[in-house]
Structure 1
């Protein structure tokens, strides 16, 4: 396996509303890159990134799943994240692993709640945002209205890099505003470039000018040249786009249909040539130090996901920030103040894992059998003491008490819940001494169903979720006064006392 350096690595998270087609787009990309010779689909439960049994049962993504492929001498890592809000922890994991968020939009439905919240969260994490408008092969698509709605919702930073020449059942052509070319796609997803038809020159020029202006505004030298000459060279446009995109000054829009493979290959081409590389990013440690992605520095990495599977084993997914990691290396777990030995290191593609001789800075990978490791843990060389920020998940929305169906299995239920919480840090498990109950704080009902499924299928213990007890307490309700006079005569001086009590 070829080992890639940071300048040749791209890390992307696919996020967005449920049903927007994130998993289908991931599948189409793997098909275009010849990783698979036949596309699966979500309905049949045979996609690469939805490989866990309950995802097949539900018919949608529940866990974040990394996949990788090679394209034009670049290694591209994609983390396919679930769209349901109940599984927001997995979305946060994906965003922390990736450098760029691609928000997939169902072009039929337009911007939805999941789109809005994806934009907000990505902006909070200061990650670059791009949009992929999917399902443009649908008849009810209104691209102009969708574009205007997106600009109204997300501002003037929204800028098409492409737009569909036609859509609906005959959708097979896209106008590329970077190259000012018409892309025509065949049924297998491959495309050819040709000159724009005269009928599109005016519209394409107007949209391109908006794009170039948005890019030029992020750099004073580019802005001056744009005003002087009215355009930028292809090299200047690409370099300027990377800077504007990385700094959040432009939100590029791409077009396509994962179902029909239209726009997929051109999107990957753009990712490989014009998206920022892993080496273009840096990280801030908890003490405020900026750490650049650099394979020549001492090794440091952080854990962004944990998952235990009977077949795969205990998997720890990590991202290398500096240096490199190879089998047999020992690193310090900063949070646990312990040393762990890394065995094999893998690049992951769904349930498949490919062993690599080393993983360089900027890359995403996984290992097995780390003994005492949690999500957000930082690992580093002994001589390179630092700590990366923990993933901050949204506050839990619901609370239930967990009781075993079989009396006497309280300890087993509690232990199992704590193991689940290690793999899903968006939940909280608490043993209330006051209520004498095990409390579970979660993101929603769907997440509770998932936890119950994992208890039953993985840990072989059945549990019920009930309303927690109410912690009744006695308290003072009004002011009160009392007095007591004590007299006792038993010879001698005797005893006398008078007590007054006011509450």
Structure 2
């Protein structure tokens, strides 16, 4: 019912009923054939048997509903049915195929991948009912001028193919799985990869039977084949005839919903972990890898906990790398709220030889959020030679790398360097850099420093019956609701929420919506952390720095 409400256009039609449920699930009833299929072992091969007595009434009810829905696809069959004529199984299958082709019917089958129940019936259904590749609409892409172009599913058209999957085999190397959309291709030819603007030499072509690969003489339109050791080609790329270039739009991977900081268990495995992750990402473009410039953490983002577990297991099994995971550190920043004028710092150090001397005078101002840093040189006399100005700015920038509250980077400040003092022998770039660094830190202490946190822009899509729970949860996470829209039967909530509150939002949303919600999230801006939370964050950051020093 929920799926039908969220579906635009087609009507959902169950073609099978399960025999048993959960642990007792052991087979299916085919409503069109009115037959039961049982799976008595782990071979995945179905055996016909009688329909269970407790299901017979339900099977007849659902079969009648299915027949009535299918014959609506063809008006002439509807008239015959109303006149009491019997509709053959072949005619029902014809209605099913026609309904799917028009997008009026969405068939539903049942099975279990882990128990190998229903897989063979699904494959038979695909072979029998789904449209042939030669029946599909022309594939649309862009030519080198950026104009839309089509390729019909025909052998008469120039060769073109789409790379939909990549595997990295330790022996065979990179294996590119491609679907031929037009024309044909044989072995030992050169093709164009217009996505990468390179040429690729195609060696042998392999047809696929599960994990088995068999040498194929030629690949024609509609075929799915494997090409070995293409140098530059990746998932989402187009391959085509050099004389008839076309680029098909890549499939956009779904937005990741779960992020963790990842690091090797063993010291010295940093290179191994980077190599393993890049190889796995090549096979799975839904993985997003990033290096946080502030926290220096390597962040892995994926589609959920199960997806993450599979990635970690593959790293261990295929690449011999064991890793540790932790929630990503929040990239907090620091800024100031108050203007401070006349901040003076003198750096003076005398040793046996040449000493160090520099004095700087600063005015420090807060800037609007997002402005970063401004430096103004406003010297008027000759107290400080102008050649020391770059060292002064460098000292300030180094001081901005760690604030006075919790050691987070400082942003949105302006420093006006208006005066100072120097010594003709003891002054140097180093002396002025040290003086500027210390003067800036001194000014920060006086300028009401505050903590800033990243705010994320969320778009959450939820069914109506979960709207209240999701809204209440967002409010509890210090969220600010910007507005709501309708999208079909669903609601789309737009909100601003602190990053700290939504680091693991995917599992939370799944729980609130029984897996029917989805969301996208992107960085918006920085805001001041509420004082009662800021103190806790500052204390935790100080403890962490102390622990790092001990280590």
What TM-score do the two structures reach when normalised by structure 2?
0.50
Residue 315 (str. 1) matches residue 175 (str. 2): yes
Asked if 1:376 is matched to 2:230, the reply is: no
Q: What SS class does the counterpart of residue 440 from structure 1 fall into?
A: strand
**How far off its partner does 1:262 sit?**
9.2
Matched residue SS, 2:336: coil
Map residues 419-458 of structure 1 onto 2, 5 A cutoff. 419-458=279-318
Equivalent residue number for residue 134 of structure 2:
279
Tell me, in whole angstroms, the C-alpha distance in 1 between the residues paired with 2:175 and 2:135: 28
1:338 matched to 2:193:
no
Shift in Å at residue 203 of structure 1?
7.9
Q: Does 1:306 align with 2:161?
A: no
Structure 1 residue ranges without an equivalent (≥5): 1-110, 129-155, 491-498
Q: How many pairs does the alignment contain?
A: 344
1:362 maps to: 222
Is 1:164–1:255's contact at 8 Å kept on the other side of the alignment?
Answer: no
Task: Give 1:92-111 correspondences, 5 Å limit.
Answer: none
Is residue 168–residue 279 contact of structure 2 (8 Å, CA) maintained in 1?
no
Q: Quote the Cα distance in structure 2 between the aligned partners of 1:208 and 1:239.
A: 16
Q: Alpha-carbon deviation of 1:464?
A: 3.2
Counterpart of 1:249? 104
Contact 1:282 1:291 in 2 (8 A): no
Is the partner of 1:402 in helix, strand or coil? strand
Give 1:379 deviation, angstroms.
0.9
For residue 334 of structure 2, what is the aligned residue in structure 1? 474
Q: Secondary structure at the match of 1:355?
A: strand
TM-align CA RMSD? 5.0
SS of the counterpart of 1:285?
Answer: strand
Cα gap change, 1:261 to 1:454, in 2 (>3 Å): closer
Q: What is the alpha-carbon distance in structure 2 between the residues aligned to residue 261 and residue 487 of structure 1?
A: 83
| Equivalent in the alignment of 2:15 | 160
Contact 2:26 2:39 (8 Å CA) reproduced: no
Match in the other structure for 2:211? 351
- The 1:489/1:394 distance shift into structure 2, 3 A limit, reads closer
Change (3 A) 1:426 1:329: same
Q: CA deviation at 1:235?
A: 5.1
Once the 2 structures are TM-superposed, how far is the Cα of residue 340 of structure 1 from its aligned partner? 0.9
Find out whether 1:413 has 2:247 as its counterpart: no
Question: Which deviations, in whole Å up to 9, do the C-alpha atoms of 1:230-271 show, x marking residues without a partner?
Answer: 665555433322120233322345578999999887766554
Residue number in structure 2 paired with 1:296: 156
Residue 217 of structure 1: how far off its partner (Å) = 3.1
* C-alpha displacement of 1:339: 1.1
Closer, same or farther in 2 for the Cα pair 1:192/1:358, shift >3 Å? Answer: farther
Distance in 1 (alpha carbons) for counterparts of 2:294 and 2:26 = 63
Cα offsets for 1:283-339 (capped at 9, x unmatched): 653556554432332111111111112245422112111122322132211210111
The answer as to whether partners of 2:151 and 2:157 remain within 8 angstroms in 1 is no
Q: Which of structures 1 and 2 has the larger relative contact order (alpha carbons within 8 angstroms, sep 6+)?
A: 1
**Alpha carbons of 1:171 and 1:348: their partners in 2 closer, same or farther (altered >3 Å)?**
closer
> CA distance change for structure 1 residues 275 and 469 in 2, over 3 Å: closer, same or farther?
closer
Secondary structure (helix, strand or coil) at the match of 1:458 reads helix
1:427 CA drift (Å): 0.9
2:94 aligns with 239
Name the stretch that deviates more: 420-429 or 468-477. Answer: 468-477
Task: Give 3-state SS (helix, strand or coil) of 1:475's partner.
Answer: strand
Aligned 8 A contact 1:216 1:240 in 2: yes
How many Å separate the matches in 1 of 2:112 and 2:311? 34
* Distance in structure 1 (CA, Å) of the matches to 2:340 and 2:59: 83
**Uncovered stretches (5+) of structure 2, i.e. residues with no partner:** 143-147, 343-361, 364-377, 384-417, 419-446, 448-551
- Normalization by structure 1: what TM-score? 0.54
Give SS of 2:334's match.
Answer: coil
